[in-house]
Amino acid sequence: MVIIMVREKFATTLSASLLVLALAAQDTSARFCDFTVYDARGYAVSDDHDPSSVSNQAEIDAKYGGCTEIKDNINIAANYTGRFYLPNVTTIDGGLFSTIIYHPNDSHYEFRPALSLTSIEVPDLNNTRKIEIRAVPRLKTISFPSMTVVDTSITLALDGTEDCHLDFPSLTTTQRLSIVGNMTSMNFPVLANAGRLRVSRNPPWDGYDGVPESTDLGIDRVDQIPLDISFPALRNASNVYLEGNISSLSMPRLSAIWKSDPWDYDRVLKIRTYGNPLNISLPSLSDVKYVEIAGTIGSLSFPSILSLDNFGLNTSTPLNVTLEPIKTVEFFSLYGNVTTVSMTSITKLEYVNIIGTASEFYCSSFTADLQRIMGSDYNEYAVHCQDGHPPKSKLPLILGLSIGLGVPVALALAYGLYRFCAIWDRPATPAVKREDTLPAYELGGRPPTYVAWGEGRGSDRGIEVARSVNADGVSESVEDATSARLRDGSNAPQEGDSARQDGTLEGSVADVDTGVWGFEGLA
């Protein structure tokens, strides 16, 4: 360890009292203390996470007492007990760290908790390179009242802490400020340039400080204590991520979220809030590329923003979205309980995705605006809108048509099936063989008597047209047959034959007469 002591020389004829006072001032003279460990070649071997540390106030006083400038890091041991108090030091050319152990085998950091550390107070420090405090569940106060510049970053990972007060009343600039956990109050009244700014109740997604790179608009849990966020002097940041049960938000002078480093590719403002509806108003913000907001939103106001690459919103509370005076948005996304959308100032949109759940929200209410803005680019690929009113079901119409058309068809099919089954099940009717039976008079009975129907008209007509066939197959008229019946018995030997022939002829006439009546009856 090398200690360089610079003492002021006093040559004076002052009184003894003044001399005593001057000697007392010698104890507060500037002192540069270099605790850097060098190897044989003269290279420093310590890094940001030097295992050498202090574990109580007595060790602080013994090691750093009298130093005003320190070259190296100051490390707080995991077994530190009580209050950490480091006065008189104005510059630390390194940083202040809680216990962080790096494991080179698998390239990860271990943050060992300092379970008994109650406060960190460095009243005179105004400049350092880095502050990183993690895993301090009983910490109540972090105070750097004279700090003006932190060259790289401030990381205060207070997850697990019940409540903690942060006091940085003189801080104006840092490249990165990450505050995570249960802080009851924050005091950054003059911070103007914050670089990458993160204030969150939840631990970082990647286990380290920074702003999440995903564009997820999910809404987080609501079981955390309220958080007031106030940066009254903040003007510039490279990106901003605010998350938690935010009860109030004040950044009235924030004007630009700009690219401060070559590796900062996302100039984004992300706010996730839950609890009571949060009124978000950033009156001076004009230079930003991405705005993504989710949660319980009471109102939105961005009166100075004219152009955005991406605007995304997911609200769980009813919200009237007013985009004026914004003119251009490339990617526009709305989700959740959106009630109305006003975009009268918009002149350019490239892609629109809207999924609304509010009962009073209708996509048709601003379709005309979208068509006006997008012109020929308005199509199903560039615009997707789904409101809280799904299309009316066509099921009743389908059922009506099915019943109206289906019942007659079903009846016809049923009847056809019935007929088919009836025919299929009908027993086959045997063919009846026709048998010719001899008339009764040929068997010895009395010949039949024939009566003409139709008052003589049918009888006369039957005699004129009827024909009979004799036993030899020769056609005879009915008149000849009648004459044959009236002959005397001179031909007695042939009576049987004649009678047989007469019977045949009489039967034929009867058949013809009956057939003619039947035909006329049908006619």
502 lies in some domain: yes
22 lies in some domain: no
Tokens of 423: 């025919």
358 lies in some domain: yes
| Confidence (pLDDT) at 493 | 44
Are both 381 and 449 inside the same structural domain? no
| Number of domains the chain is built from | 2
Are both 386 and 449 inside the same structural domain? no
Which residues fall within 8 angstroms of residue 49, CB to CB, at 6 or more apart?
A: 73, 75, 97, 100, 101, 102, 109
| Confidence (pLDDT) at 454 | 44
Higher-scoring residue by pLDDT: 125, 208? 125
Tell me if 257 sits within 8 A of 269, measured CB to CB.
yes
Would the pLDDT of 473 be above 90? no
Which residues fall within 8 angstroms of residue 164, CB to CB, at 6 or more apart?
A: 139, 140, 141, 142, 158, 181, 182, 183, 184
72 lies in some domain: no
Would the pLDDT of 273 be above 80? yes
Last residue of some domain: 390, 406, 434?
390
Tokens of 12: 């004076």
- Say how far apart CA 240 and CA 269 lie, in whole Å: 5
Residues spanned by the domain of 314: 306-390
475 lies in some domain: yes
Q: By percentage, how much of the chain surpasses pLDDT 90?
A: 49
Last residue of some domain: 390, 410, 436?
390
Mean pLDDT over each residue of the chain, to the nearest integer: 76
Higher-scoring residue by pLDDT: 405, 281? 281
Are both 318 and 386 inside the same structural domain? yes
Would the pLDDT of 512 be above 50? no
Are both 384 and 450 inside the same structural domain? no
CA 410 to chain centre: 45
481 lies in some domain: yes
248 lies in some domain: no
500 lies in some domain: yes
Q: What is the mean pLDDT of residues 508-519?
A: 39
| Confidence (pLDDT) at 1 | 47
Neighbour-count burial of 132, counting CB atoms closer than 10 A to its CB (0-12 exposed, 13-18 middle, 19+ buried): buried
pLDDT digits (tens, 9 = 90+) for 315-373: 999 999 999 999 999 999 999 999 999 999 999 999 999 999 998 899 998 899 999 99
pLDDT digits (tens, 9 = 90+) for 121-174: 999 999 999 999 999 999 999 999 999 999 999 999 987 788 899 999 999 999
